[in-house]
Amino acid sequence: MTTPRVHGRWLGVASVALAATLIAAPGIAAGNATDAVPDVAVKAAFLYNFAKFTEWPALPAGAPIVVCIVGDDGIAAALVVTVREQNISGHTLEVWRPQESATWRGCHLLFLADAETRRSAGGLGAIKTLPILTISDGKGFSQAGGIIELFVENARMRFAINVDAAERSGLHLSSRLLGLAKVIRDGHVQ
Amino acid sequence: MRAITRLLLAALLSTAASPTNGFAQTKVPDLRQATIEDLMNIEITSASRKEQRAADIAAAVFVITHEDIRRSGMTTIPDLLRLAPGVDVAQINSNKWAVSVRGFNGLRANKLLVLVDGRSVYNRLFSGVLWDEQDLMLDDIDRIEVIRGPGAAIWGANAVNGVINIVTKAAADTQGGLVRVDGGRSGEQGAVRYGGTLGAASYRLYSQWTRRDQSVIAEGTRANDASHTVTTGFRADGATQPDAWMVEGGFTAGQSRALWPNTDPQTAAREPIANDPSDTQGVHLLGRWTHTRASGASLQTQSFVDIAGRQEPVANYDRRVFDVDTQYHTALGAHHDLVAGAGYRFINETFAGHAGFSLTPADNSASLLTAFVQDEIALFGNRLAVTLGSQVQYDSGSGAGVQPTARLMWKGLPRQRLWAATSRALRTPSLQDRGIRVDFPPVPSASGLPLFVTALGNPAAKTENLVDAEAGYRLEIGTAAWIIATGFVGRYDDLQTQEQSAPAVQFVPSPYILVTSKFGNQLQATTRGLEVAGHWTPVPAWRLDGSYTAFHVTPQLAATSLDPAAVGEDGSAPRTQWQLRSTFSPVARASFDVAIFHVGRLERYQVDAYTRADVSAEWRFTDRLSAMAIGQNLLDAAHAEFGGPSSLVLATQVPRSASVRLRWTFR
């Protein structure tokens, strides 16, 4: 695998600035008196935390954790900032934006933006038994077989975990994560 | 938590002031240190960011989704294009269509570029698309993107009035088996597909068989224009980050009949119509490789070969195309999003005319070199996007051309988008424009002498030229509705005319009158139009989509022109079109959809306005098995949609039809 760090430093700076622009837009529009934080920054931080509390079987020591973001460049840009120079138990994080669902097999964590989930049903089916942590902010994602669904309740971010889907994937999610989640099973809200 | 927020805002404000240095010096607010419990307590600004990307493009874009395709019950690509606002689809007979946007329609409409997975299916013989060759496996189409207006700055020549981009699903999205059967008054269609994996790669194999039944000349009189087509192909996708590849190929063969004018002087008087079958064959292979960097920058290279043949009553035609192109997409600094590309295409075509038809030269080879660059610049905190770009090309047949575009999009108002664009686009002369010759059989004239008419191409045919200005506005109303309006003005120069000579009396071998009609470029035209589309989801199970298009052409014929018909261009496209579609899913297993399409009168061809109503009702027995009942053209027994010389073959009427579809999928 080619390391992504071959690109120049200016691209890294560009990503940071792009993230800033994307995050800044709603903040400025909403005025400066708000205490609210843009959701992309929060979602990116959630993704980082989900990675922290997940164990991938057969992840070689020192290999990077590949985080794939589909359909939301704002989250991808925010995540590039979040995971910069971070590592989780010795694994660095790499952020990818795969264009085709055929390439999802190379991901450890796969985030599908709301608008993408409806189109992606087939692609998801193909990877459901692989150790890929699938996450979306699309409504009904976890009932439809995705592992983690982010949703908003009272202007706060919450998440649901489909434990059947997690089991199928062979991933181990920490009990701390399960304790905070709304736990559901295939097709039913518990 | 409040401290984090302040720090974040401070960082952002300093960034806005000084995009690169400011950010580098300011500590990024550390949400990384926040625990999940912390994160769950942060108040956030918006519930979702599901902006459709199409809404952010400074052009008139509409996307026909897989769901739209499946639910419509339609079985041909031209029919499906009716779902997009502003597309003028006219069925000529059972297996031929005239498709255009923003005017200038005909069987060989020449101002629209059509791509299937990036492979141009445009045809240099007449600069158009042979729709009867495009028998794509409908179940595998992911979406059809319809871009109205010039797309030449990226796509190149002949994307004058629009670009239609048909995108098939990745092989990973079509895993397992599928069997579909459609049958009814308009014909039958059967499709089978199987998708699987081989190591890290996914693949699918598919085959579709289509038989289209006869249309009618008048109620009760069939037109003997049935056709059948078989398409078989594969697609494979694979990836090892950061590289992804795709290979697809297919073979198609078909036979169709139409009512052609008989141009054989020996038999024309006795049999004015030729009804011999036409055969078509085509094979293509396409490969694409994409390398994506972690930054999101990507390099994509693709190549295809396309070999096709047609044996029609008027001519045999063969083409061989080889194409390779590459493009690079990257962010440049904080404000620039750059796409640049270059391509090469080699085309060889041969034409063997029959019965009065010929092409000079009969064997043509041409090379086409293209390059483009487009930069989208974000200004004023991402509220204004300015897109500047141009395509340059060198065509060994018609020389060099430059096709620039400038686009603006204002995103500063919540829930609204405002855009404007100006572009130049070219339509290069086709082989028939330059070298066709048709000797029509003699007809009696008023003088008593036989009249011979010969139509001639013009070796000095000029490139047609469009300069266009357009503007659009999009408004979201609540979460359940949106409306888009687009207006445009186009100025066309050097449009094709047919310059007629004065009748000349010839004495050898026996007296006759000869009139020649030679292609010229003596027409200018101004087009104006308004396209409005809206969407509303009153309740989650019910959605309504509608659109209205008004279009007008003002032709200005040069004083030196001897083309009596060119001023009739105004009446070759409908002045108004509208459609209303309702898609309703009362329970999870059932859906009931109604679509009504109205197309205004074609004054030039004396074709009346018509309203078409389609209904489809689907019941899903299980997740794997469904049945659908489909009714098309329900409002009349049959109606005409096109006519006149632009149809080449005799235009017939489209009958009412009903059909049933069964669809079964398995793992």
- CATH number of domain containing A37: 3.40.50
Nearest CB among B23, B244, B330 relative to A20 is that of B23
A115 has pLDDT over 80: no
* Contact between B42 and A157 using a beta-carbon 8 Å cutoff: yes
The residues that bridge with B302 in the sheet, in sequence order, are B288, B325
The domain of B28 spans 2-39
User: What count of other Cβ atoms lies within 10 Å of the Cβ of residue B588?
Assistant: 8
Looking at the domain assignment, is residue B658 inside a domain? yes
Q: Shortest Cα distance from A188 to chain B (angstroms)?
A: 16
Q: Of B376-380, B382-386, B478-482, B577-581, give the range with the top mean pLDDT.
A: B577-581
Interface of B with A in 91-110 (CB under 8 A): none
pTM of the predicted structure, to 2 decimals: 0.75
Rounded mean pLDDT of chain B? 86
The answer on B132 and B14 residing in a single domain is no
What is the mean pLDDT of the segment spanning B590-606? 93
For residue range B265-302, what is the model confidence (pLDDT) as tens digits?
A: 788 778 878 888 999 999 999 999 988 776 667 899 99
CB contact under 8 A, B39 and A45: yes
Confidence of residue B568 (pLDDT cuts 50, 70, 90): confident
pLDDT at A9 over 80: no
Q: What is the mean pLDDT of residues B108-121?
A: 90
Tokens, residue B586 = 């009362």
CA B71 – CA B593 distance, rounded (Å): 7
**Residue A71: per-residue pLDDT:** 79
* CB–CB contact B239 A35 (8 Å): no
Contact: B5, A35; criterion CB under 8 Å:
yes
Residue B486 has pLDDT above 60, yes or no: yes
- Would the CB atoms of B172 and A101 count as touching at under 8 Å? yes
Q: Does the pLDDT at position A161 exceed 80? A: yes
Q: Are residues B13 and B88 in the same domain?
A: no
- Is residue B46 domain-resident? no
**A 36-55 residues with CB below 8 A of B?**
36-42, 44-46, 48-49, 53
Q: Say whether B381 and A28 touch across the interface (CB within 8 A).
A: yes
Residue of B212 and A5 predicted with greater confidence: B212
Instruction: Confirm or reject contact between A175 and chain B (CB < 8 A).
Output: no
Query: CB distance A42–B31 less than 8 Å?
Result: yes
CB contact under 8 A, A20 and B334: yes
Q: How far apart are CA B525 and CA B602, in angstroms?
A: 18
Structure-token pair, residue B124: 């240099």
Q: Can you tell me the ipTM of this complex? A: 0.73
Q: Which of residues 118-147 of A touch B (CB under 8 A)?
A: 118-120, 122-123, 125-127, 137
Res A11 pLDDT > 70: no
- The answer to whether the CB of B230 falls within 8 A of the CB of B253 is yes
> What confidence score (pLDDT) does residue B172 get?
82
Q: Where are the beta strands (DSSP E) in B186-277?
A: 187-198, 201-212, 216-218, 221-222, 227-240, 243-256, 260-261, 273-274
The backbone torsions φ and ψ at residue B329, rounded to the nearest 5 degrees and listed phi first, read -130, 125
pLDDT the model gives residue A190: 38
Q: Compute CA distances B27 → A33, A57, B2, B383, whole Å.
A: 21, 35, 16, 25
Are B102 and B30 members of one domain?
no
The pLDDT assigned to B47 comes to: 27
pLDDT at B54: 61
B169 in contact with A, Cβ within 8 Å:
yes
pLDDT at residue B657 in the model: 94
Provide the pairing of β-strand A148-153 with A133-136: parallel
Among residues of chain B, what percentage have pLDDT more than 70? 92
The one-character DSSP state at A155 is: T
Which among A96, A105, A120 has CB closest to B292? Answer: A96
Helices A39-52 and A73-83 cross at an angle (nearest 10°) of 60
Asked whether the beta carbons of residue B24 and residue A11 sit closer than 8 angstroms, the reply is no
Alpha-helical (H) ranges within B358-435 are 431-435
Q: What is the pLDDT confidence band of residue B227, given thresholds at 50, 70 and 90?
A: very high
Which comes out higher in pLDDT, residue B362 or A78? B362
The number of distinct structural domains making up chain B is 2
Say what the pLDDT of residue B166 is: 92
Among the partner residues B169, B173, B331, nearest to A18 by beta-carbon distance: B331
**Residue B561 backbone dihedrals phi, psi, to 5 degrees:** -75, 145
How many CB atoms lie under 10 A from the CB of residue B416?
A: 12
Predicted pLDDT of residue B46: 36
pLDDT-based confidence at B616, cuts 50/70/90? very high
Q: How confident is the model at residue A118 (pLDDT cuts 50, 70, 90)?
A: low
- pLDDT bracket for residue B44 (50, 70, 90): low
Range of the domain at A142: 4-189
Q: What is the mean pLDDT of residues B555-573?
A: 82
CA B317 centroid distance within chain: 23
* Contacts with A, B 114-143, CB within 8 Å: 142
Comparison of pLDDT for A117 and B175, the residue scoring more? B175
Residues A168-185 pLDDT 10s: 999 999 888 888 888 888
CB-CB neighbors (< 8 A) of A2 in chain B: 242
Q: Per residue in A25-52, pLDDT tens?
A: 322 222 222 334 567 778 888 999 999 9
Q: Is B20 on the interface with A (CB under 8 A)?
A: yes
CB contact under 8 A, B201 and A1: no
Whether residues B411 and B353 share a domain: the answer is yes
Q: Roughly how many angstroms between the first and final C-alpha of chain B, as a whole number? A: 49
Which residues are within 8 A (CB) of B30 and not within 5 positions of it... i.e. 6 or more apart? B4
Which pLDDT value is given to residue B53?
52
Provide the pLDDT for residue B298: 82
Query: Given an 8 Å threshold on Cβ–Cβ distance, is A36 in contact with B45?
Result: yes
Give the pLDDT confidence score for residue B354 in this predicted structure.
86
Q: Which residues pair with B39 in a beta bridge?
A: none
Burial of B89 (0-12, 13-18, 19+ CB in 10 A): buried
Residue among B186, B74, B95 nearest B656 (CA)? B186
Residues B22 and B165 in one domain: no
Q: Verify whether the Cβ–Cβ distance A32 to B2 is below 8 Å.
A: no
Question: What are the chain A neighbours of B172 within 8 Å (beta carbons)?
Answer: 100-102, 104, 122-123, 126-127
Instruction: Tell me whether residues A82 and B51 touch, CB distance under 8 A.
Output: no
Strand B278-292 with B243-256, pairing? antiparallel
Between B39, B295, B335, which is nearest A157 by CB? B39
Per-residue pLDDT band for B15 (boundaries 50, 70, 90) equals: very low
Confidence band, pLDDT 50/70/90 cuts, at residue B313: confident
Note whether residue B136 is domain-resident: yes
Highest mean pLDDT among A180-189, B93-102, B556-565: B93-102
Q: Is B296 on the interface with A (CB under 8 A)?
A: yes
Q: Which residue of B has its CA nearest to A107?
A: B241
At A9 the three-state DSSP class reads helix
* Domain presence at residue B408: yes
A178 CB near a chain B CB, below 8 Å? Answer: no
User: B455 with B356: CB under 8 angstroms?
Assistant: no
pLDDT mean over A103-129: 80
The whole-number average pLDDT for the span B643-651 is 80
**Interface residue B241 vs chain A (CB under 8 A):** yes
- B544 Cβ under 8 Å from any chain A Cβ: no
Same domain for B617 and B652, yes or no, is yes
All residues of chain A having their beta carbon less than 8 Å from the beta carbon of residue B8 are: 23, 37, 41
pLDDT at B50: 27
**Beta-carbon separation of A97 and B12 below 8 A:** no
Does B51 map to a domain? no
Report whether pLDDT(A96) > 90: no
Write down the pLDDT at residue B240. Answer: 77
Average pLDDT, chain A: 74
Query: Measured between CB atoms, does A27 come within 8 Å of chain B?
Result: yes
Q: How many domains does chain A have?
A: 1
Report chain A residues whose CB lies below 8 A from the CB of B49: 39-40, 72, 74, 113-114
Please name the residues between 607 and 626 in chain B that touch chain A, using a CB distance below 8 Å: none
Nearest residue of chain B to residue A40 (CA atoms): B49
Shared domain check, B168 and B19: no
Picking from A21, A36, A100, the nearest residue to B334 by CB comes out as A21
| Residue at B324 is within a domain | yes
Higher pLDDT, residue B537 or A56: A56
What three-state secondary structure class fits B375? strand
Contact between B24 and A13 using a beta-carbon 8 Å cutoff: yes
Specify the pLDDT at position B19.
27
Over 90: is that where the pLDDT of B250 sits?
A: yes
B339's enclosing H/E stretch is: strand B336-353
Q: Which residue of B has its CA nearest to A22?
A: B382
Q: Do A21 and B378 touch (CB under 8 A)?
A: yes
| Shared domain check, B162 and B21 | no
Q: Are residues B481 and B616 in the same domain?
A: yes
| List of chain A residues whose C-beta atoms are within 8 Å of the C-beta of residue B35 | 49
Greater model confidence, B604 or B42 = B604
Question: In this structure, are B22 and B99 located in the same domain?
Answer: no
Query: Edge-to-edge strands of the sheet including B216-218?
Result: B221-222, B216-218, B653-655, B638-640
Pairing state of beta strands B481-500 and B464-477?
antiparallel
Judge: A105–B8 Cβ closer than 8 Å, yes or no: no
Choose among A2, A102, A119: nearest Cβ to B171. Answer: A102
